[in-house]
Amino acid sequence: MADDAGGPVTPHPAAVPHAAATARLRPTRFGVGFLILVVLTLVGCINYGLSLGYGLTFLLGGVWVVASAGASRPARGLRVTLTPPVPVRAGEDAVFALGVTGAAGALTLTLHSSAGDTRRVTLRVREGELRTLAVPFPARVRGPLTVTARAAAALDFLGLWATGLPAPAPVTVQVVPAPEDGAPPTPPRTVSGPGDGGARTRGDEDFSGLRPYAPGDPPRRVSWRHVARTGQLLTRETDAPRGRTWQLDWADTAGETETRLSRLAAWVTRLERAGQPFALRLPGQSLPVGGGEAHARAALDLLARHLPLPPVPVLQRPKRRAEQEERPDEDALRTTLLALAFALAPTALRQPVWVTLLAAALLAYRAVRPRRGWPPLPTPLLGVLAGLAAVGLNVTYGTLLGRDAGTALLALLVALKAAEGRGPRDGKVLVVLGLFVTSTHFFHGQDPLTALHAVVSAALLLAAASRWTAPTRPGHGDPGADLPATLVRSGTLLALAVPLALALFVLFPRPESPLWRLPVSAGAVTGLSSVIRAGDYSDLAQSRAVAFRADFAGAVPAPAERYWRGPVYEAYAGEAWTQGFLGSAVPSVGVPSIEVQADGPNWSYTLTLEPSNMPWLLALDTPVSLPPDVLLTTAFQAVSSRPVTSRRRVALESRSAQLGVREDPRRLNFNLALPPGESPRAAALGQSWQTLPPQGRIDAALTLLGTGGFSYTLSPPLLPAHNRVDAFLFGTRQGFCEHYAQAFTFLMRAAGLPARIVGGYLGGEENPDGGYLIVRQQDAHAWAEVWLPGQGWVRVDPTAVVAPARVSAGLTTALSRPQAAAAPTPTPLNRWSLRLDALQNRWNAVVVGYDGAQQRALLGRVGLEGVGSPAFMGLLLALAAATALPAWLWLRRAARPRDPAARALDALTVRLRLPRAPGETPSAYARRAGERYPHLRGALDEVVRAYHAARYAPGDGRAALRELSAALRRVRR
């Protein structure tokens, strides 16, 4: 570097040139946080068996993998230069010019000054654009100020990966003393000047001779006569008499060193503005007489270098982050808040209204605050809001660990974080939290609409992450400034990650048991409960929500055979029936009453259960084949080892059978018990039948219900707390299935027959498009079981006597036409609804229900031993590589120049491992490359000639492009 006042200056001796960074690909801090999010959601999916959660997790993991190509390729094309400013005064800002050009991409760079200041720069550049950014550093004291570039890296679109770039060499600027305000007049010290002793000096008075023309000479001083005669450019020289001029001397100042230098700087500035020549003398240094701007800069530079240099003040760094609040990118902030609002929207459907309103108010305040100039919310206030919200949710749900309370609290905490966020780091944290909130929606549903919302939320949040990667420039053609274009790019990344996500979705091991057990929901979502009272089942009949779907391997059972067995109620206390003997939900290990004698047809089917937070499965008739984690209780009820907290598919096999032919006497006595004094009229009626044979007692009770003027309704009159059966049988005579089941069971016990109530579902709507049954909550039903000697537990449905249509035609028909024999023909609207449900059922079977059993079956069909075998691991790795490689190559190709000729020139720089400098022409690059590789000069000249022909020659350029490709192939380093 030159050392003159007008050119670049020499780096400070203490500054060590920064070595060029190697092209090493590494995840950024945000990339590490993103990967941690993927791991956490994967662990949650494993524990709770969220199939769609696996899909979103692997999709985000695929984005993390393929995004690496977005940083590796641009790193080869991005070039960075750092230019120092002209000398600046102490106390001002030294504005360094950072220039970036090359391939499209984002860049991050950290600049350190010798005064201890640090600037982190992030920016985007377009293809072929020369982007210049002004980076100010405070010049606190005079002397050399050196700026060193470190940690230069190219970033991918999302800022997940960084590839090292060669950092520009350190640059130094001289900080000159600040001129003294109100400096005294220049002292009258002079030296030899114009007119002194007849000596001559440079001037504009007399002609003194000719000299060769130099660039920058004014045209009026060119001797055009000699040009016309000789053809050579010559410039006329002139001079003037030397006289007396100003002498600035160190001896004319007083005080401390910096004070004296400041006064000299003021005199230099004053004489330079007046156009008067001067000389400068310092202890051990001097500057001869001269004038003009260059002479003044040389004088100020001499003052800046004067020894000893002043010490650099130590910076007082703030200890708390609140004292160094970062100024966020408002465009990135608005995009992030929009993405968060969309991601949090489904929570409004299931959480308390006050939580939704509070979260919306926090997001709105943060969005409006910069425009209105409102102050940020104090951190203590946000802490108080968080504490009060936690208390309110605990009161509402009774816990903070359940699914509903936990997701509501998480949504509110994200909104509080958005209100508190200060800068890019917080913005990226909000993106990660938004993706985590999106994954929690699968606790509440895994339907296609939820999956679509998750994908759109991920695209919006990734678009927001890209805007935090580097600042945008709306109105300047910046690729990050257009939100739709950003969404397209984030959607493209998601699309490229789909093949890898599918491979992992199919092959990633699916554990059968959870890693830990925590409550997902505080109570039952909907459906049957462990207690039955009059009115419970009629409430369920108001809901058309799907309870489960049943896919049969063969023919669908007839309507009269569609009794789906659920909880068994054996304990009666006068007002409610509960599950009683031996708990009824414990395994039947060693209990003789588990005896089952199959005597009917066999049905193989798969249940797709909707979340109920209850452990029981709704088996058809008597299950004879169960999954490994499902047990059969002493009451012949299928019970899972874990509650059904999310949509679940189980394969079952059932048969008609005789149950408990050799029943435990203790159970039979338990199912004869009646509370003393409860419903005496009904008890006396049942006792009057004890002389009849067992079947005669059953027929007597059914005859009473069928001929006694009873009606089937969803709105029966209220029954008293005591003597409820008497009030129903001899009073209201209106009821739903639970009224008839309770009254019949009471009469049977009074008649001396063991009896109990069985809850479950009856019927199901057959979908002709899918060949399966849809069982809804309105199909909830209660019936009775009576134990008969030699026959065991026999099902008796007293509701069928009052409303036969309930069995043959379904609930809706039974309410309007109780004696109907078949359901009416479905309407066109119902048929369209069934087609949509068929799609939902297919989705459940293929996507939601994909578990370890289906995975093992799939591996068996392709001839693999199973999960964890060497062949399986090899297939998993091969498929992961095969699905990720095309996306990675596509991104690398997309980062290259679009113009074929420019792409060929870019390939040349890669082949030679010699990048082009910013603004360097192909010819200049070829000369520089020829100096490094002399044996390639001829081949490089051919490449440049072909390049120019391909870019600028008229006509069809395909032949020129072929010639350029051929010339490029001849370059061998």
- Write out the catalytic residue numbers: 737, 781, 797
Q: How far, in Å, CA of 945 to CA of 58, rounded?
A: 49
Task: Give the containing element (helix H, strand E) for 100.
Answer: strand 93-101
Task: Give the containing element (helix H, strand E) for 552.
Answer: strand 546-552
Helix (H, G, I), strand (E, B) or coil at 137: strand
Distance of CA 206 to the CA centre of its chain: 78
Do residues 891 and 73 make contact, with C-beta atoms less than 8 angstroms apart? Answer: yes
Other Cβ atoms within 10 Å of 762 Cβ, number:
23
DSSP state at residue 352: -
With vertex at residue 748, the alpha carbon angle to CA 745 and CA 752, rounded to the nearest 5 degrees, is 140
Helix (H, G, I), strand (E, B) or coil at 765: strand
Question: Where do the H-state alpha helices sit in 653-804?
Answer: 665-670, 680-687, 694-707, 724-727, 737-750, 799-802
CA-CA-CA-CA dihedral for 674, 675, 679, 683, to nearest 10: 30
Relative to beta strand 711-712, strand 734-735 is parallel
Do residues 495 and 455 make contact, with C-beta atoms less than 8 angstroms apart? Answer: no
CA-CA-CA-CA dihedral for 917, 919, 925, 928, to nearest 10: -60
With vertex at residue 50, the alpha carbon angle to CA 48 and CA 52, rounded to the nearest 5 degrees, is 165
Q: How far, in Å, CA of 646 to CA of 445, rounded?
A: 7
Helix (H, G, I), strand (E, B) or coil at 230: helix
Other Cβ atoms within 10 Å of 602 Cβ, number:
13
First to last CA, the chain: 30
Helix (H, G, I), strand (E, B) or coil at 158: coil
Phi and psi based region of residue 159 (left: phi greater than 0; alpha: psi -120 to 50; beta: remaining): left
Q: How far, in Å, CA of 380 to CA of 383, rounded?
A: 5
Residues 6+ apart with CB under 8 A from 714: 538, 541, 542, 736, 815
Do residues 418 and 425 make contact, with C-beta atoms less than 8 angstroms apart? Answer: no
Structure tokens at 626: 């169960």
Peptide bond preceding 716 in cis form (omega within 30 of 0) = no
Phi and psi based region of residue 173 (left: phi greater than 0; alpha: psi -120 to 50; beta: remaining): beta
Q: How far, in Å, CA of 219 to CA of 214, rounded?
A: 11
Structure tokens at 246: 């100003």
Structure tokens at 766: 């057959």
Task: Give the containing element (helix H, strand E) for 493.
Answer: helix 483-507
CA proximity to 604, closest of 558, 565, 569, 557:
557
Structure tokens at 887: 């996306």
Question: Where do the H-state alpha helices sit in 17-127?
Answer: 29-48, 51-66, 69-72
Q: How far, in Å, CA of 34 to CA of 40, rounded?
A: 10
Structure tokens at 205: 């008075």
